[in-house]
Chain A
Amino acid sequence: MSWIPFKIGQPKKQIVPKTVERDFEREYGKLQQLEEQTRRLQKDMKKSTDADLAMSKSAVKISLDLLSNPLCEQDQDFLNMVTALDTAMKRMDAFNQEKVNQIQKTVIEPLKKFGSVFPSLNMAVKRREQALQDYRRLQAKVEKYEEKEKTGPVLAKLHQAREELRPVRDDFEAKNKQLLDEMPRFYHSRLDYFQPSFEALIRAQVGYYSEMQKIFGDLTQQLDQPGHPDEQREKENEARLSELRALSIVADD
């Protein structure tokens, strides 16, 4: 109905100062960014720990399968080596599980909790927006009457409109103020909130790698295999392969 002489609901004067609007946008923008980052971080962290667990389990399977091979019954040396390996892998897996549990408790859960505040925030912002729309509309209405010729019915309408406007405006102001107060405080709270989690995360990693170093260090001692440099290892692999290939029953290609 475009022939209606004026658009309904757009006030002429700027009811919310530009600075206020800008501040609001900025604060809310920061929070929206934070929401996105924490949500993705939480998801990725979960995927990372899942992959970590899978990796550890597949390492355990290596030694488990070896242990169940009949060669172990025939070859004492082989059995000893594989048993030692199996013990080490199982212990590492246990430590890994504990590490992941710790991460779950101190990082992933808190991230989730943090993220759960955002829906309420977003709803609050929406309601403020709704209130703003109502405010604008009623403001426009008041202005409309104010511009008209001051006849009796007009004055009656004007008064009525003003009466309607007042509570709506107050409602909006209140919401606006509340959010402008709360948003920065919430944003700021991330500092205190995340530092403990990440400290716990670092400590969990360090604890795990310490165990890993100890267990595998002991194992290499036990297997009597000093740390060879890579070139030497490669040479040995080459040598083993040539030995095999020297046999006639091994195809050379």
Chain B
Amino acid sequence: MEGEVVLLDFWPSMFGMRTRIALAEKQIKYEYREEDLRNKSALLLQMNPVHKKIPVLIHNGKPICESLIQVQYIDEVWNDRAPLLPPNPYQRATARFWADFVDKKIYDLGGKLWRTKGEEQEAAKKELIECLKLLEGQLGDNPYFGGKDFGFLDVALVPFYCWFYTYEKFGRFSIEAECPKLIAWAKRCMQKESVAKSLADQEKIYDFVLHLKKALGIE
């Protein structure tokens, strides 16, 4: 059933982490291939000609692009274990809505925290906190966004946890102070092997961003 599974990825990518987590949750054996984004492999360009981006999941030679689509694909193919999307259509719609919200907001706002300064940075910080609070509100009294169980929205959001340290350092604020429940949730997720093994080290991410800023000529 498994076939051949390859993941083209880049170690700091929160999007790649989502797919790594899903594969780990389902205990799927796969080949991880690190891409140098300044020198993209012929395979990456062939498998994702439209966006030329990672992550790319290749299953039996056929590519699936876009992290949330990959997670849903993994959930549908390996549907006999560790379900990620809930069985109820309305809960599924809610999970998809908030995962889409994460995609629309968190990456760009977080990016502005380390790419910009002054007023633009402050505005991004304010909006990021608002968005994280909205997400925190969705937890309610549940241990996970998926309710009792770790699920699709948990997978979509938790990779950003290893980037919070970077956001906090550049934005000079504490996400835990603003969203304590969210951080408690993230730490709870980190207790899971699938998450702990898939997320990058937060200090390495910070170093990576420092180097990236230099390379991009951003002060």
Partners in one complex: no
Chain A interface (Cβ < 8 Å from any Cβ of B): none
Footprint of A on B, CB under 8 Å? none
